Chains A and B, each alone.
Chain A
């Protein structure tokens, strides 16, 4: 067994989130691996489609649910398109968990605001469920989520569930022009939705993930609300191959996204050169 050899996993369930995003629920084939497997919210893995290659996805399910892991995949390239041709029962490979994670311990006893756009909800979802599964350990939970149009919203079932919860506040929106006649949520860009949500910054963390343009306009709102740079977290993506710091591909200046990330604070991001 060498460190590039993946665990084998079976696709248990496939959910179509949007026309090009699918969520895969995976179980380890080896029960011993399943029993020993542990990870933290924010970490990622290298998922194999044998014959096509490996691709990097975050683990989108929470560590509090131990039977399975999930990943949400947009079909963009060779491996992700090949993944789309697989059915329930097919075998994938998995190497991981790799990378760092959200600072769950630091967040305990405090409030958290989750802000996401489009498929950016995937890495954040792991932490959202992690927190909701341990709800008593946290103060206020606010979720601000938007997508271009209704069809692009991911985890629609869970959004409905979160909307019903009394221990979390959900704000969801689609961009102006993206609503359907029966859309009940807001119609606004995510930064505007965040202003409406106006979460308190005292003793609170913010976790942001989404398309670069959304992040660009969301950060000033968080700053205005009073969130300091070292309590705003985000995840970075970069082209990866090995996931373990050896192939030299994912570095952003001196930082290896696979080892020093993918979770970074805004304070750390501001130190990074424009190499991503």
Chain B
């Protein structure tokens, strides 16, 4: 479908229409507690959104996998237990102005969430949501989306991608949901883009800028990591890591969770799933007190290996979108782009050595 040029006022009208139609619209908004930060929050009007603002602190993950989510409710009585189901269909919502690294994370997680068993809670929210991506100018030198096969104008995960241009935004439909939006008022009347106006052409600058931060992760890395479980590199890599899990909480693709029962009253309560992280000491702690990953070195190895070997080997997709939040938030200076650079070198030299 040919992209259209959407004016600011047409986009504002879209937001107004959606809100009037009881559709929740979520966009990056400057944080109340600190305008130097932004969050993905509901808006009522387009002008509440901060498209040129900072990268939102948190990814889009929480709109599909909330930090805490009720799986069922139970009530115990003398004859047994009654279970109350939770909803698996959700009211429609539109995420407007999603950064490409965040939109891509959602699509990458579809794979594990649909692996043999279909997670209805995840997909219920996915089906109810339309993601309108907004091409990103690049944040800082911790961005590395292009190193993991994406880019500041990647369409992965977006239903519709907006790229700022003269006259407003170039709107590129990516999925049928995106096409449907473009074929409906108020966007239907928008003019088609001219022949030379493409996402590619418009966004070359930011692409080049981000590409400078880190060269592409080699395709041999997953295999190298699979063979390098006992490599000495892991011994001292994570000495400074506290295992705090701040990285995992902000990461668009970290999805590990815990399942707990929470009594609310002596005879009733909820079963919830909560965000968890392989970086915490008790993640793999057995009831017998045995822990296969006793130290932070082993836990950090798991994080890198899951993202760059285990997930891609099984699902053909790196479990990372290069958003750089982990490197920015880490209180101890662990730096994934730096680590990937080091691993690329190790993998390169060792693969070369093996063939000699």
State if A and B touch, Cβ cutoff 8 Å. yes
Known: A77-B287, A245-B112, A259-B116. Is A29-B80 also a contact (CB below 8 A)?
Answer: yes
Q: Within A244-258, which residues are at the interface with B (CB < 8 Å)?
A: 244-249, 251-254
> Is B258 a contact partner of A247 (Cβ separation < 8 A)?
yes
| Residues from chain B with Cβ under 8 Å of A275 in the complex | 229, 292-293, 298, 302
Known: A4-B273, A50-B76, A52-B261. Is A246-B112 also a contact (CB below 8 A)?
Answer: yes
- The 8 A CB mask of A61-84 against B (1 = contact, 0 = none) is 000000000000000111010000
Q: Is B68 an interface residue (CB 8 A)?
A: no
> Is A254 a contact partner of B313 (Cβ separation < 8 A)?
yes
| Residues from chain A with Cβ under 8 Å of B292 in the complex | 238, 252, 274-276
Name the contact of B287 in the complex, choosing from A80, A241, A276 (C-beta under 8 A): A80
Give chain B nearest CB distance to A96 CB in angstroms.
Answer: 11
Q: Within A80-109, which residues are at the interface with B (CB < 8 Å)?
A: 80, 91, 93
> Is A246 a contact partner of B255 (Cβ separation < 8 A)?
yes
Q: Which residue among A4, A91, A245 has the maximum number of chain B CB atoms within 10 Å of its CB?
A: A4
Known: A239-B285, A239-B286. Is A2-B85 also a contact (CB below 8 A)?
Answer: yes
Give chain A nearest CB distance to B73 CB in angstroms.
Answer: 10
> Is B259 a contact partner of A273 (Cβ separation < 8 A)?
no
| Residues from chain B with Cβ under 8 Å of A6 in the complex | 83
> Is A248 a contact partner of B229 (Cβ separation < 8 A)?
no
> Is A246 a contact partner of B76 (Cβ separation < 8 A)?
no
| Residues from chain B with Cβ under 8 Å of A10 in the complex | 80
> Is B117 a contact partner of A246 (Cβ separation < 8 A)?
yes
Which of the candidate stretches B161-169, B176-184, B276-284 sits at the interface with the other chain?
B276-284
Give chain A nearest CB distance to B270 CB in angstroms.
Answer: 10
A249, B269: Cα distance in complex, Å:
25
Q: Which residue among A53, A80, A252 has the maximum number of chain B CB atoms within 10 Å of its CB?
A: A53
Known: A76-B287, A76-B288. Is A51-B112 also a contact (CB below 8 A)?
Answer: no
| Residues from chain A with Cβ under 8 Å of B119 in the complex | 2-3, 246
| Dominant secondary structure at the A interface | loop
Name the contact of A273 in the complex, choosing from B229, B284, B285 (C-beta under 8 A): B229
Name the contact of A248 in the complex, choosing from B263, B278, B285, B288 (C-beta under 8 A): B278
| Residues from chain A with Cβ under 8 Å of B189 in the complex | none
Give chain A nearest CB distance to B252 CB in angstroms.
Answer: 15
Name the contact of B226 in the complex, choosing from A54, A91, A254 (C-beta under 8 A): A254
Name the contact of A4 in the complex, choosing from B259, B285, B286 (C-beta under 8 A): B259
Name the contact of A51 in the complex, choosing from B72, B258, B269 (C-beta under 8 A): B269
- The 8 A CB mask of B75-113 against A (1 = contact, 0 = none) is 010001101011010000000000000000000000011
A54, B288: Cα distance in complex, Å:
16
> Is A2 a contact partner of B261 (Cβ separation < 8 A)?
no
| Residues from chain A with Cβ under 8 Å of B115 in the complex | 245-246, 259
Known: A5-B71, A244-B116, A254-B310. Is A273-B81 also a contact (CB below 8 A)?
Answer: no
How many positions in chain B have a CB within 8 Å of any CB in the partner chain? 51
Q: Is A214 an interface residue (CB 8 A)?
A: no
A84, B74: Cα distance in complex, Å:
20
Q: Is B240 an interface residue (CB 8 A)?
A: no
Name the contact of B72 in the complex, choosing from A5, A53, A238, A244 (C-beta under 8 A): A5
Give chain B nearest CB distance to A150 CB in angstroms.
Answer: 23
A259, B284: Cα distance in complex, Å:
17
- The 8 A CB mask of B183-199 against A (1 = contact, 0 = none) is 00000000000000000
A244, B121: Cα distance in complex, Å:
14
Q: Is B64 an interface residue (CB 8 A)?
A: no
Q: Is B260 an interface residue (CB 8 A)?
A: yes
A5, B284: Cα distance in complex, Å:
23
> Is B255 a contact partner of A248 (Cβ separation < 8 A)?
yes
**Nearest chain B residue, comparing its CB with the CB of A55:** B287
Q: Within B295-347, which residues are at the interface with A (CB < 8 Å)?
A: 298, 302, 305-306, 309-310, 313-314
Name the contact of B229 in the complex, choosing from A80, A242, A274 (C-beta under 8 A): A274
| Residues from chain B with Cβ under 8 Å of A239 in the complex | 283-286
Q: Is B244 an interface residue (CB 8 A)?
A: no
Give chain A nearest CB distance to B44 CB in angstroms.
Answer: 32
**Nearest chain B residue, comparing its CB with the CB of A252:** B292
Known: A246-B112, A247-B258. Is A2-B121 also a contact (CB below 8 A)?
Answer: yes
**Nearest chain B residue, comparing its CB with the CB of A212:** B290
Q: Is B141 an interface residue (CB 8 A)?
A: no
| Residues from chain A with Cβ under 8 Å of B74 in the complex | 50-51
Give chain B nearest CB distance to A52 CB in angstroms.
Answer: 6
| Residues from chain A with Cβ under 8 Å of B287 in the complex | 76-78, 80
Q: Is A269 an interface residue (CB 8 A)?
A: no
Q: Is B63 an interface residue (CB 8 A)?
A: no
> Is B120 a contact partner of A54 (Cβ separation < 8 A)?
no
Given A53-B259, A246-B113, 11 more pairs with CB closer than 8 A: A2-B72, A2-B88, A8-B81, A50-B269, A93-B81, A239-B283, A239-B284, A239-B285, A245-B112, A247-B276, A275-B292
14 A-B pairs with CB atoms under 8 Å apart are: A2-B119, A4-B271, A50-B271, A51-B261, A76-B288, A78-B287, A238-B292, A239-B286, A245-B112, A246-B117, A246-B255, A251-B310, A254-B310, A274-B292
